[in-house]
Amino acid sequence: MRERFDNRKWRLGFVRMAQVTKRNCILNELEELKCPVLFICGEEDEIVPIWQAYRAAKVMRDNGRDVRMIVFPKCGHAPQIERAQLSNKYIAEFLKGKLKESGGFWRHQNGLLQSFDLDKAVAQNAQHIGN
**51: which residues sit within 8 A by CB, 6+ positions away?**
122, 125, 128, 129
Number of CB atoms found within 10 A of residue 51's CB: 18
What residue segments make up the domains of the chain, in order of their start?
29-129
Which is nearest to 69 in space by CA: 79, 54, 51?
A: 54
Report pLDDT digits (tens) over 62-98.
989 999 999 999 999 999 999 999 999 999 999 999 8
Rg (CA), the chain: 15
CATH of domain 29-129: 3.40.50.1820
**Tally of CB atoms within 10 A around 121:** 20
27-56 pLDDT per residue, tens: 667 778 889 999 999 999 988 899 999 999
